Amino acid sequence: MKKHTIIKTVVIIIFLIVCILTMFFADINKILENKSPVFSLQKQIYEDKTEEYIGFGYKIFKIVDGEEIKVKIGTIFSSYDSIK
């Protein structure tokens, strides 16, 4: 490969990583403010009012315990049972 092609590839990969991290932290901040996340979709609400959101490569579990909001983060393969 040419040096120019390698540099373009590295720049694109870095750009994608920065975009994914930005989406992730924006979603976490929205959930902590008790708002809906921007870049994640709500997948399910469980009986104990735990909400499961799925994003690009991650899952966010919002657990409402009275006045307190707990946020647990996992990979795309995380399940509700594994966070309890």
pLDDT tens across the length of the chain (84 residues)? 788 999 999 999 999 999 999 999 999 899 888 888 999 999 999 988 899 999 988 999 998 888 888 889 889 899 888 877
Number of domains in the chain: 1
Give the largest Cα separation in the chain, rounded: 59
CA angle centred on 66, ends 62 and 21, rounded to 5°? 20
The number of beta carbons lying within 10 Å of the beta carbon of residue 39 is 16
38: tokens are: 């921007």
Predicted TM-score (pTM) of this structure: 0.78
Cα–Cα distance for residue pair 81/50, rounded to 1 Å: 11
Range of the domain at 79: 3-83
